[in-house]
Amino acid sequence: MAVAEADGAPDPTVRNLLEQESLKWVFVGGKGGVGKTTCSSILSILLASARQSVLVISTDPAHNLSDAFQQRFTKFPTLVRGFNNLYAMEIDPKVENDDFANEGMEGFLSELTNAIPGVDEAMSFAEMLKLVQTMDYSVVVFDTAPTGHTLRLLQFPATLEKGLEKMMALKNKFGGLLNQATRLFGLGDELNEDAMLGRLEGMRDVIEQVNRQFKDPDLTTFVCVCIPEFLSLYETERLVQELAKFEIDAHNIIINQVLFDEEAVESKLLKARIKMQQKYVDQFHMLYDDFNITKLPLLPEEVCGVQALQNFSRHFLTPYKSALKRGTVEELEQRVSILKSALQEAESELDRLRKGKQVA
């Protein structure tokens, strides 16, 4: 669990994840737009330095892994440039009809997916997990879709169970008719209900096996990413509660886009923002006092490309400290320098405007 600091509080970094050598599955999730992809990319980079082989998978239909690494990824694992043990892939958690067209299962699947919402995603996820298990990576990092989709993903075993029940009902109701139709149209055994049932059973076995691993805290953990705002706090609490319900371990929270109070900030708007953020950061610490809570600074630029990700990764291992502290000689010198520069710019702009008026 959480590594304790000298004062008894958990370590405010992700070192515990790197030190947990038994970890096989790491889920990264949270509300949309909080920086999940950046965090999962950096976690995979850090894990690659500690583990034999790492695979990072995006299950979000709006894929951003390619943007984060500035490299094109597909539904097949691709080696990330600059690494020899880090692979990435982007999958759409939906069944593609082409996958089943050759097996004469289109009509059946359409009936099944209409009857049970989410079963198409469940079957696709089962296929993907089956693929991943054959590849034997040391650890797999999931960059998940926003919270609602993630929770559906955790419900897949139950969803597939419903699918099997529906399949059995269809078999009992139309079994003989289905077999006659397949023979009549010369489809052979492709549409045989036993073959379909076997396919679904196989998927359920994979999902159940993986589900048992998901519930093992030695093998699986969930990293919640958020920002210091009310809606994100609310969504994180919902996510933590749901994870507890599904018996999935979670003891790391990453608070992204934090403005630090000691920064040399002059803007009234930013000062108000810092005050608002601090209120929610305090609430996170109060609600999750036994979690490893890592705070990441808001940057003036996007974190894109392997080099930028590696540079930013230091804040995951060492608590962020601003370069200049308010009230020091260095900070006052920098403020004077910034104000002089701003004054020169304003004077230049004023001169341009005056000359423009004289010309007119």
pLDDT in tens, 32-66: 889 999 999 999 999 999 999 999 998 777 778 88
Say what the pLDDT of residue 117 is. Answer: 56
For residues 244 and 340, membership in a common domain is answered with no
Say what the pLDDT of residue 351 is. Answer: 86
For residues 286 and 355, membership in a common domain is answered with no
Least confident window among 132-141, 196-205, 249-258, 303-312: 196-205
Residue 1 within a domain: no
Q: CA–CA separation, 67 vs 34, rounded Å? A: 15
- Domain housing 343: 327-359
Residue 18 within a domain: yes
Closest of 144, 154, 134, 48 to residue 90, by C-alpha = 144
Q: Please confirm, yes or no, whether 92 is among the known catalytic residues.
A: no
Q: CA–CA separation, 58 vs 74, rounded Å? A: 10
For residue 224, is pLDDT > 90?
Answer: yes
For residues 123 and 248, membership in a common domain is answered with yes
Model confidence band, residue 226 (pLDDT cutoffs 50, 70, 90): very high
Q: What is the mean pLDDT of the chain?
A: 79
Residue 8 within a domain: no
Q: CA–CA separation, 12 vs 317, rounded Å? A: 8
pLDDT tens profile 263-292: 656 678 888 888 999 999 999 999 999 999
String of DSSP letters for 63-96 = --HHHHHTS---SS-EEPTT-SSEEEEE--SS--
Start-to-end CA distance of the chain, whole Å, equals: 72
Say what the pLDDT of residue 232 is. Answer: 92
Residue 116 within a domain: yes
55-64, 136-145, 216-225, 334-343: which is most confident: 216-225
Could you give the percent of the chain with pLDDT greater than 70? 69
For residue 171, is pLDDT > 80?
Answer: no
Model confidence band, residue 144 (pLDDT cutoffs 50, 70, 90): confident
| Greater model confidence, 194 or 244 | 244
pLDDT tens profile 344-357: 888 888 888 888 77
Least confident window among 76-80, 206-210, 309-313, 316-320: 206-210
For residues 167 and 275, membership in a common domain is answered with yes
Say what the pLDDT of residue 126 is. Answer: 67
Average pLDDT over residues 255-260: 91
For residues 335 and 283, membership in a common domain is answered with no
Residue 3 within a domain: no
Q: CA–CA separation, 64 vs 90, rounded Å? A: 9
Say what the pLDDT of residue 103 is. Answer: 47
Task: Report which DSSP code applies to 10.
Answer: B
Helices (H), 49-192: 65-69, 97-101, 106-115, 119-135, 147-154, 156-184
78 contacts 89 by C-beta, under 8 angstroms? yes
Say what the pLDDT of residue 16 is. Answer: 92
For residue 149, what are the CA distances in angstroms to 26, 31, 75? 16, 10, 19
Indicate the pTM of the whole model.
0.76
For residue 220, is pLDDT > 80?
Answer: yes
Say what the pLDDT of residue 192 is. Answer: 56
Residue 2 within a domain: no
Q: CA–CA separation, 3 vs 12, rounded Å? A: 9
Average pLDDT over residues 82-86: 93
For residues 24 and 60, membership in a common domain is answered with yes
Model confidence band, residue 20 (pLDDT cutoffs 50, 70, 90): very high
Closest of 93, 106, 111, 8 to residue 57, by C-alpha = 93
Say what the pLDDT of residue 308 is. Answer: 93
For residue 70, is pLDDT > 80?
Answer: yes
Q: What number of other Cβ atoms are within 10 A of residue 154's Cβ?
A: 20
Say what the pLDDT of residue 343 is. Answer: 86
Could you give the percent of the chain with pLDDT greater than 90? 35
Q: How many domains does the chain have?
A: 2
Q: Count Cβ neighbours within 10 Å for each residue of 78-104 and write b for 16 or more, e otherwise.
A: bebeebebbbbbbbebebeeeebeeeb
Average pLDDT over residues 59-79: 86
For residues 163 and 285, membership in a common domain is answered with yes
Average pLDDT over residues 251-259: 94
Residue 82 within a domain: yes
For residue 227, what are the CA distances in angstroms to 118, 253, 352? 29, 10, 42
Binding site listing for ATP: 31-38, 229, 256
The catalytic position among 7, 11, 60, 98 is 60
For residues 270 and 340, membership in a common domain is answered with no
Say what the pLDDT of residue 123 is. Answer: 62
Based on the number of CB atoms within 10 Å of its own CB, is 175 exposed (0-12), middle (13-18) or buried (19 or more)? middle
Residue 92 within a domain: yes
For residues 232 and 343, membership in a common domain is answered with no
For residue 106, is pLDDT > 80?
Answer: no
For residues 341 and 313, membership in a common domain is answered with no
Binding site listing: 31-38, 229, 256
Greatest CA span in the chain, whole angstroms? Answer: 94
For residues 307 and 337, membership in a common domain is answered with no
For residues 74 and 183, membership in a common domain is answered with yes
Least confident window among 11-20, 109-118, 168-177: 109-118
| Greater model confidence, 211 or 242 | 242
